[in-house]
Amino acid sequence: MSQSLSEEPAAMTTEARCPVSHLAESFDPFTDSYLQDPYSFWAGARAEEPVFYSPSLDYWVVSRYQDVRQVFMDTDTFSAAISITPLKELCPAAVDELVKAQMVMGPSLVNEDPPLHTQRRQHIRDALVSPRRIEAVRPRIRELAGRYIDHFVQRGHADLVTDFAWEIPALVAFALMGVPDEDVERAKQFSGRLALFTWGYPSDEEQMQLAAGMGQYWTYAKEHVARRLKEPTDDYISELIKSWRTPGNEDLFDENYLVTTMMNFLFAGHETTTNATANGLRSLLEHRDQWDALCADPSLATNAVEEVLRYSSSVIAWRREVVKDVVVGGVEIPAGSKILAVTGSANHDESVFPEPEKFDVARSNAKRHFAFGTGRHLCIGAALARVEMQIFLEELTRRLPHMRLVEDQNFAYSPNTSFRGPDHLLVEWDPSANPIEADRPS
């Protein structure tokens, strides 16, 4: 889904702040040139003006590693309340779609602050990413990866987004949430790309369509939570219900909170992992020596995942609201301001990552990236995403080491501030040269 070319983000009203620099005026995260290569812009920003005010977004933009870390770690000064508030006000038609679905999106873990966030996070984390649950789903991930490769391995070409990376994370998320097999096809209808809705400037028509999809998924999630309230099983939602029903936790959740949590988990566990996988495969195949090294030594996959997350993050920016006057990077930012913390830029900060534009699957400190945030709001699904990406790399390098990018393809990205991954990733290979005999055409 792409932004209408005629739909430009309008400048938002704001009090006079400070003189707007040339850099701030040139910052437009919705242009194709920026979407194709945001890192060139941020290299200049870190050197020239690492903290600046963007009048078009009405956000202060923070780009250096230590400054981004300050924003994430100081939860007393930087509130998460605006993290998932749509950048563009909802049009009446979009509101109608949400009202039609009786959608009641209240606070969730991602936009809550302590102390409530701390109390809820423990239960949500334990329900989702206990070592037992991660290990239990690992065979399912490998089975799915193998099955999807089976579909195209003898074909000699594939789109690694639509043929591979798009559906598998969603199916894993469904399994963790206890979505029954007979509901998978229905649930898949609602797992479309939603980044544009919250972090972009969609046209009114696009916004309405996205809102309709969200409303449908809200209806399904509400039905699923109600079903698990009556008949709990061994899944994520049932574990949350069990925590809720534990004496003393009665005020911790309500039914709408559980529905919201289910919706957010599907988005976080699906689209971000899809984007991270596509970014990683593109980076590896564009740096053939790194792909060949990984094919020769599969044990590099664990660190290769970290370098992928650093070098081409699926989440390149996140938002916070300033609740009291603060100084960031030597710049005074008043209470009430909004912050865009550019994690993708921080992951390329020369002071932390030597030769940051070099893609190196053996980089010793790659894991210091902010692809999953840091501090209290560190992504609770990080362990699951790492396992998925590692298995994907292991299976693709084992069965298609001779795979290569199709030349001269155009990479399209959703026009939004925060989530980045190509809509398509076209690859090709000689199927008669597949290393596993059973994978060769008969």
pLDDT tens readout for residues 158-191: 999 999 999 899 889 888 888 887 777 777 666 6
pLDDT at 192: 61
pLDDT at 191: 62
Alpha-carbon distances of 2 from 10, 416, 422, rounded to whole Å: 18, 10, 12
Tell me how far apart the alpha carbons of residues 176 and 381 are, in angstroms, rounded to a whole number: 11
Asked if pLDDT for residue 396 goes beyond 50, the answer is: yes
Angle at 381 between CA 217 and CA 261, to 5 degrees: 35
Length of the chain: 442
**Got the DSSP string for 322-346?**
E-S-EEETTEEE-TT-EEEE-HHHH
Tell me if 237 is assigned to some domain: yes
Asked if pLDDT for residue 375 goes beyond 60, the answer is: yes
Which of 57-71, 86-100, 254-268 comes out lowest in average pLDDT? 254-268
Tell me if 268 is assigned to some domain: yes
Tell me if 435 is assigned to some domain: yes
Tell me if 51 is assigned to some domain: no
Query: The dihedral of CA 205, 206, 211, 212: what is its sign?
Result: positive
pLDDT at 19: 53
pLDDT tens readout for residues 108-118: 888 999 988 88
pLDDT at 185: 75
* 270 closest CA partner among 206, 361, 189, 325: 189
pLDDT at 414: 92
**Got the DSSP string for 144-203?**
HHHHHHHHHTTTSEEETIIIIITHHHHHHHHHHHT--GGGHHHHHTT----HHHHHB---
Q: Read off the CATH number of the domain in which 397 is found.
A: 1.10.630.10
Tell me how far apart the alpha carbons of residues 356 and 43 are, in angstroms, rounded to a whole number: 10
Tell me how far apart the alpha carbons of residues 376 and 112 are, in angstroms, rounded to a whole number: 10
Tell me if 18 is assigned to some domain: no
- Give 79's strand partners: 321
Phi-psi region of 41 (alpha: psi -120 to 50; beta: other; left: phi over 0): alpha
Tell me how far apart the alpha carbons of residues 272 and 169 are, in angstroms, rounded to a whole number: 9
**pLDDT (mean) for 353-373:** 97
Range of the domain at 180: 86-314+375-439
**pLDDT (mean) for 78-103:** 93
Tell me if 45 is assigned to some domain: no
pLDDT at 174: 83
Confidence of residue 284 (pLDDT cuts 50, 70, 90): very high
pLDDT tens readout for residues 286-342: 999 999 999 999 999 999 999 999 999 999 999 999 999 999 999 999 999 999 999
Asked if pLDDT for residue 369 goes beyond 80, the answer is: yes
pLDDT at 50: 96
**pLDDT (mean) for 203-207:** 93
Tell me if 361 is assigned to some domain: no
Tell me if 44 is assigned to some domain: no
Q: Report residue 31: phi and psi, to 5°.
A: -80, 155
- Paired tokens of 123: 């239960």
- Give 360's strand partners: none
Count the domains in the chain: 1
Asked if pLDDT for residue 282 goes beyond 90, the answer is: yes
Alpha-carbon distances of 348 from 42, 136, 312, 352, 366, rounded to whole Å: 8, 35, 9, 8, 10
